[in-house]
Structure 1
Amino acid sequence: MTKKILALFLLISSISYAQYTIKGAMSPEIKTDWVILYRLEGTKQVFVNNTTIQTDSVMISGKKQAVSSFQIKLPTSAKPGAYRATYKLEGAGFVDFFFNKENVSFIFNPEYPQQSIAFSASSENKIYTDFLSDVSIVQQKLDSIQVAVLKNPSLDLAKEYNMALKKVDSVQAIYAQLTEGKYVAPFVKASSRSNPPKIFTSINGYIDNITKTYFDGLDFSNKTLVNSSFLTNRMLDYIFYINYTENEKEQQALFKTSIKTILDKIDDITYKRDIIQFLIEQFEETKNLEIIDYLFEKHYNNLPVTLQNKKFKEEKLALFAIEVGRIAPDFSWQENGRNLKLSTLNDAENYVLVFWSTSCSHCLREIPQLHTYMNSKPNMNVIAFGLENDAMVWETYTKNNLKGWHNVLGLNKWENKTARTYQVYATPTYIILDKNKKIIAKPNEFKDVKEFIEKL
């Protein structure tokens, strides 16, 4: 009886401490010494584990090659899902895979991770990559027939198109059956294209069909799809590639239309908030203020107040407060006994707002040059915002050297509230405004100021 109890205890213990292994190898080897593993949840990355990278020699295509390899253990309690191994902070610096209670092993090229990944262990990942490969081959054949007819509408390729379409449908049906009950099943279903039953002879008709059927296989309520990069990648493709034009004004309108189309399909209000925040960050990269404002004003601000992230909103709005095209943040000062305000100043057609300091040698060289130059520009004025820790030197310098300017004293230097609002990290910092105080340029140096003003 004692032996049976001991055997049962050992069995339970071995199960309790069992682990899954994630093994990855990068070829060619890469000069980095760490990998961080995340689980994807919506648009967020949840930290799971991290490890170091080793250099090993392995046989690849019959030749010994050096690879960068890593291994991460996951407990039996690890959640099934989409996971991301990150090895670089910029560029193509991560690889995504699925985990569903099985060991995962793969090799990939670190410069082209997702395109080159090959799995040696993990039935879920193997069958999904096989599906992507097989369906891509037959889909490309179908697309090539369609493109040929679009180039030459007189071609009669209806028979060939129908045969190719049947092959696509057959591959999709086979893998739908093979993945039934598996974690990757929703991805196989969502990856299936809605190909038209008949070939198009019109480019406009073809493009219109792609746009209208783009979301046919996508279920925005499916948690498996939501907690992966799949849906977010599809959204980005729809916004930036499917709805594309070279006309800048039309593109802005297309951005707004495509964004609304996507958000209208999302019922989960929390997920909708996360997607809006995600899109704001995407347009942040190109500083597309019009679309960022649109996302805040038409979508984010309409969310329940309890769901809105006040800190996120304040940080993003502050980040773009001094971008070209924005109205310059307001501030006030006293001048010759009068209370003045930037927003109500009306004594010039354009203004040069310059943040400077008497303790800055670079400023003491450029500010006199700016003063001399601006004397020849009667329709312009300067607002010289001095960042100082003490008023005495500033008062003497401005009184003797900067006559005719609006001179503003900003105490506490780098901690000055206005300086922080304008994100001033160095002096001199130049900002050129129009009569309405809209920012029209942010030159780097005095020579750039002159160059811009001469073009006005």
Structure 2
Amino acid sequence: MTKKILFLLLLISSITFGQHIVKGTMSPKIKTDWLILYKLEGTKQVFVNNTTIKTDSVLIGGKKEVVSSFQIRLPSSAKPGAYRATYNLEGAGFIDFFYNKENVSFIFNPEYPQQSVVFSESSENIFYANYLNDITAAQQKLDSTQVAVLQDPSLDLKDSYKQAYKNVDSIQNKYVEDAKDMFIAPFIKASSRNNPSEILTSVTAYLDNIKGTYFNKLDFSNKALVNSSFLTNRILDYIFYINYSEDLQQQQILHKNAIETILSKIKSESYKRDIIEFLIEQFESAKNLDIIDYLFESQYNKLSPSLQDAKFKEEKQALFAAEVGRIAPDFSWTENGKKFKLSTLNDAESYVLVFWSTSCSHCLREIPELYTYMKTKPNLKVIAFALEKDTFVWDNYQKSNLRGWHNVLGLNKWENETAQTYQVFSTPSYFVLDKNKKIIAKPNEINDVKEFLKDK
């Protein structure tokens, strides 16, 4: 009976996981011992399988090297598409490849995976890698000829340019023809640059051509392209590199125009939503609130209500509720029997809102220093929000040491609702507010507070 059960389990396992295997070798070796395989679906990653990473000694170029390697079996239900093997969760280390019903084997340097990967098995990936090598070399020859004329318009390189142009065109057409029955065919078509047939003598004309023809070969309705990193990478390049200005105000305008151009190309409302959410997260790292607000107000909120993710909106809006440029989230407190509210406070030109605690050693050092310093700033007022577990120590401390300040008690410490709204995870945490309670600075420590307030 036991043997039959074991046999059935093995049979189920063999049915669930097909015969195709992905093998990877990383040189030099890495410290991480776990790898997760995803399938890319739009801007999302869908879990497929995971495995351990092993350390092996292998011969590379005739020399024995210690490398990291993994082998992961694909389920029989695995569909052709773009896949991502993630091996470094904290550093976002990953390698992308295509799968189309065949084994995939490759070796790469984990420090720069996509630039170093060499495929030893998988006709699709080998073909695409050869295409990228050939077309890149030919395109670089064409570009170097074009750039030489832009740098020195007196040069006569028309014939050289035409020859390089024909070479690029020939390589592109050959690969398109040879790949017509392959999964990676749309990627080869979409990778083609729109080069002008004649050399350009103006930098403006050159840049206008790049920008004006950027989307000519990009098909936002092609499922293979959509379900890969190809289009998202092109979108990021268009927003952050093609549309770039050193002037910050002009850069914001360029960002918005670029986003509108991109979204106008996307007909699928669900994919458009995914791209908007993706862009919000891209601008999140730079805390570009103006663009994030624009993406929500002018783009996301105009989608069909059924497509909008209320939880996503709530989380992102809460994340930036207390950033510089925002009106400080409101809260109320009672002081000497009188009720106060941050939004209606009007007894100073500016305010320092500090979250602190009597159980915080840094606070007990910095709060007295802040108290002494603020005596030199009669037009400024401090709102000291104490995060405490109980009232006793705080009540005695603030009565004896913090007279003249607005003292607020916030019970439940880190679980305090106001502290969570302000994303306070350590004390002391400082916020400088103007008269209208707009956050104008978030100093890291007392010396930063003094530096910011020295001219106020």
Instruction: Give your verdict on TM over 0.5.
Output: yes
Q: Does the 8 A contact of 2:37 with 2:86 survive in 1?
A: yes
1:254 aligned partner:
254
2:222 aligned partner:
222
Q: How many residues align?
A: 444
Q: Does the 8 A contact of 2:17 with 2:73 survive in 1?
A: no
2:35 aligned partner:
35
CA distance in 1, matches of 2:40, 2:90: 18
1:316 aligned partner:
316
Once the 2 structures are TM-superposed, how far is the Cα of residue 333 of structure 1 from its aligned partner?
1.9
State the secondary structure of the residue aligned to 1:246: coil
Cα distance change, pair 248–49 in 1 and its aligned pair in 2 (3 A):
same
Counting only pairs closer than 5 Å after superposition, residues 142-181 of structure 1 correspond to structure 2 as 142-181=142-181
CA distance in 1, matches of 2:196, 2:234: 20
Cα distance change, pair 16–270 in 1 and its aligned pair in 2 (3 A):
closer
State the secondary structure of the residue aligned to 2:324: coil
1:206 aligned partner:
206
CA distance in 2, matches of 1:132, 1:361: 58
| Alignment partner of 1:56 is 2:56 | yes
Once the 2 structures are TM-superposed, how far is the Cα of residue 390 of structure 1 from its aligned partner?
2.7
CA distance in 2, matches of 1:64, 1:387: 58
State the secondary structure of the residue aligned to 2:198: coil
CA distance in 2, matches of 1:76, 1:197: 47
1:408 aligned partner:
408
| Alignment partner of 1:110 is 2:110 | yes
Counting only pairs closer than 5 Å after superposition, residues 3-42 of structure 1 correspond to structure 2 as 18-42=18-42
CA distance in 2, matches of 1:17, 1:410: 54
Structure 1, gaps ≥5 residues long: 1-12
Q: Does the 8 A contact of 2:18 with 2:73 survive in 1?
A: no
CA distance in 2, matches of 1:397, 1:17: 65
Once the 2 structures are TM-superposed, how far is the Cα of residue 57 of structure 1 from its aligned partner?
2.5
Percent of residue pairs identical: 70
2:437 aligned partner:
437
Cα distance change, pair 176–442 in 1 and its aligned pair in 2 (3 A):
same
CA distance in 1, matches of 2:398, 2:62: 77
2:196 aligned partner:
196
Moved over 6 A (4+): 13-17
CA distance in 2, matches of 1:237, 1:333: 48
CA distance in 2, matches of 1:131, 1:385: 61
CA distance in 2, matches of 1:359, 1:160: 74
Cα distance change, pair 394–65 in 1 and its aligned pair in 2 (3 A):
closer
1:280 aligned partner:
280
Cα deviation digits, residues 301-334 of structure 1 (max 9, x gap): 1111111111111111111111122111011222
Once the 2 structures are TM-superposed, how far is the Cα of residue 241 of structure 1 from its aligned partner?
0.8
Once the 2 structures are TM-superposed, how far is the Cα of residue 226 of structure 1 from its aligned partner?
0.2
Counting only pairs closer than 5 Å after superposition, residues 303-452 of structure 1 correspond to structure 2 as 303-452=303-452
State the secondary structure of the residue aligned to 1:399: helix
Output the TM-score relative to the length of structure 1: 0.94
CA distance in 1, matches of 2:240, 2:251: 9
1:122 aligned partner:
122
CA distance in 2, matches of 1:354, 1:316: 24
Cα deviation digits, residues 251-296 of structure 1 (max 9, x gap): 1111111111111111111111111111111111111111111111
CA distance in 1, matches of 2:427, 2:168: 62
Structure 2, gaps ≥5 residues long: 1-12
CA distance in 2, matches of 1:342, 1:200: 60
Q: Does the 8 A contact of 2:104 with 2:119 survive in 1?
A: yes
Output the TM-score relative to the length of structure 2: 0.94
Cα distance change, pair 400–58 in 1 and its aligned pair in 2 (3 A):
closer
State the secondary structure of the residue aligned to 2:217: coil
Cα distance change, pair 379–225 in 1 and its aligned pair in 2 (3 A):
same
